[in-house]
Amino acid sequence: MGEILNKIYDMTAIGAIVEDPRFLIMYALAFVLLYLGIKKEFEPLLLVPIAFGVLIANFPGGGMGVLGADGEGLVHYMKDGVMVAKNVYEMSLPEIAHDLGIMNLIYYALIKSGLLPPIIFMGVGALTDFGPMLRNLKLAIFGAGAQFGIFAVLLVASQFFTLQEAGSLAIIGGADGPTAIFTTLKLAPHLLAPIAIAAYSYMALVPVIIPLVVKLTCSKKELMINMKEQDKLYPSKTEFKNMRALKIIFPIAVTTIVAIIVPDAVSLVGMLMFGNLIKEIGANTSRLFETASNGIMNAATIFLGLSVGATMTVDAFLNWQTLGIVAGGFLAFGFSIFGGILLVKLMNLFSKKKINPLIGATGLSAVPMASRVANDIALKYDPKNHVLNYCMSSNVAGVIGSAVAAGILISFLG
């Protein structure tokens, strides 16, 4: 009887959890992320798969945790009771699935190969409307100001990490999950787990972080600047005689220009603009648009979320380097928001037409959540001050800005 009970005990994960209670911290982390995603509705489409990935990756014996390869590409795992080390890049996909489990198959085939981030960018492009940006073209410059956090944190992090690691950490300031993953895969793949988690967690916490930075850096008077009133006082001379044609030509032209200036950003910007193009063409490419924005985007998000979450195993996550990344990522995020606000303040010094600093704060890539949050803040100060369309201009420009910043980091550090 006792022997049977012992076997049952060995079959469960209880023994391993008792032996290494750090697993409990990971479960707590997964539950907190699930709570934020489900109850607080912070980016649930991303946070729920990531959190669930964290949960299922941390059950000893479950085989759902992603095994990170070391600098030489070696993964260490138990096979038939013996510890083996194999070069994961020389293993076939069926072998990875058989020896390391399906989560590693998904991770190495879709994430580590760099496939999913551009695919997700295509979906983001299909869901993005460049109309608000084209109508308020000058505001797009704040999409550049809000990349300040990336390079500011690169400067600080270079003292604690290698330049490649610092670059990967700093890209969190772009507030773009796929861009962070893409850059990290190129520069410091061993840090993918904490960087992806930090990037997505802070993106989910946009409704908390933007109000915090805005509160610390903006006055009530500045936040009450009404953009529509400013437009009436200083009306724009630009008229649009064919918005549809403009929206079709725009992604083609931007791709061409960015490809010439920063070729390393093409895989992200090019796919973003392709997704947008098939949306704007309309009925003739509607089937492609629907597939890119629904089927492919949703499938990619599920696989990305689950496998990124599954990289957060006890050994990969619970260390001082991760804590440094979490802290550095927060700084990058905060500095980026501040960079956008600072640029608005500078421009307001020299311009008659005043701009609400919230439009600078949304120069991040987190579309459209950052704009929605900024709009809510503006409405608190003045119920008639709807800044959503203005914020969308800098917000959409931020997607391009962060992809360009990533291209620069990859180009110089990769």
If you search the block for the tokens 């725009």, which residue do you land on?
250
Whether residue 259 contacts residue 270, with contact meaning beta carbons closer than 8 Å, is answered with: yes
Burial of 158 (0-12, 13-18, 19+ CB in 10 A): middle
Amino acid sitting at position 258: V
Q: Which is nearer to another protein, 53 or 407 (CB)?
A: 407
Query: Quick check: 87 binds another protein (CB under 8 A)?
Result: no
Q: Which of 189, 212, 160, 173 is nearest to 67 (CA)?
A: 189
Query: Quick check: 127 binds another protein (CB under 8 A)?
Result: no
Whether residue 394 contacts residue 139, with contact meaning beta carbons closer than 8 Å, is answered with: yes
Q: Which CA distances in Å does 48 have to 105, 204, 302, 304, 326?
A: 21, 11, 9, 11, 19
Query: Quick check: 342 binds another protein (CB under 8 A)?
Result: no
Amino acid sitting at position 314: V
Tokens representing 343? 């640029």
Q: How far is the CB of 196 from another protein (least distance, A)?
A: 22
Per the DSSP assignment, residues forming a β-bridge with 83 are: 78
Whether residue 331 contacts residue 149, with contact meaning beta carbons closer than 8 Å, is answered with: yes
Q: Which is nearer to another protein, 142 or 330 (CB)?
A: 142
Q: Which is nearer to another protein, 36 or 152 (CB)?
A: 152
Q: Which of 203, 171, 193, 200 is nearest to 315 (CA)?
A: 193
Q: How far is the CB of 405 from another protein (least distance, A)?
A: 6
Instruction: Candidates 277, 378, 409, 410: give the one binding another protein (CB under 8 A).
Output: 409
Size of the site for another protein (CB under 8 A): 48
Query: Quick check: 404 binds another protein (CB under 8 A)?
Result: yes
Q: How far is the CB of 158 from another protein (least distance, A)?
A: 4
User: Which 225-284 residues touch another protein, going by CB under 8 A?
Assistant: 238-246, 249-250, 253-254, 257-258, 261-262
Query: Quick check: 137 binds another protein (CB under 8 A)?
Result: yes
Query: Quick check: 188 binds another protein (CB under 8 A)?
Result: no
Interface residue list for another protein (CB under 8 A): 133-134, 137-138, 140-141, 143-144, 147-148, 150-152, 154-155, 158-159, 162-164, 166-167, 238-246, 249-250, 253-254, 257-258, 261-262, 397, 400-401, 404-405, 408-409, 412-413
